[in-house]
Amino acid sequence: MRIALRGMTLPEDVLAKGLLRRPAAANGQGMPERGPIGEVVTIVVVTVVFTEVIIEAFAIAVGVTVTATVAVGAAEAITRRQKWRDECDETLKNCLGTPLGGRWSRSWHETRCTACWQKCTNPQNKKWPAHVDLIDGKASCTDW
């Protein structure tokens, strides 16, 4: 193909006008030619700008992912907590309707059922206890 192009000739008026050297605008003015360094600088600047945008987008994506993961974990923990806590509350309601609900516990304002409920809602227990400790010994929580 190079041999075929070498054999072609151009009219003298095209070479004299310089139409092949620079692009012409509609008003006849031509843009100055860029040197090779201008293109390199443009490429470097564009690369740096896009790199900053990509880094910021990555940081935002990581932040959103971490937030979503923490939110899901918190929701699961609340659901688990509520389940055993709801069981303690339901057992307290049942206990208060029995003779055990009228028995006093460790102090004058606390019934045996509320003492058992407090032990049940302790995160270390998470279930209705068989007994609670009183000053004079142990008292049953299941003796209804």
pLDDT tens, residue by residue, 11-69: 777 666 655 555 555 565 655 555 555 566 677 777 877 888 888 889 999 999 999 99
Which tokens is 51 given? Answer: 């790199």
Longest dimension (CA), the chain: 121
Number of domains in the chain: 1
Q: Is residue 92 part of a domain?
A: yes
Q: Is residue 6 part of a domain?
A: no
The residue type of 84 is W
Q: Is residue 15 part of a domain?
A: no
> In angstroms, rounded to a whole number, what is the distance separating the alpha carbons of residues 39 and 109?
85
> In angstroms, rounded to a whole number, what is the distance separating the alpha carbons of residues 10 and 125?
97
Q: Is residue 71 part of a domain?
A: yes
In which residue are the tokens 């407090």 written?
118
Q: What is the pTM of this model?
A: 0.44
Q: Is residue 1 part of a domain?
A: no
Burial class of residue 95 (count of CB atoms within 10 Å of its CB; 0-12, 13-18, 19+): buried
The residue range of the domain holding 80 is: 34-140
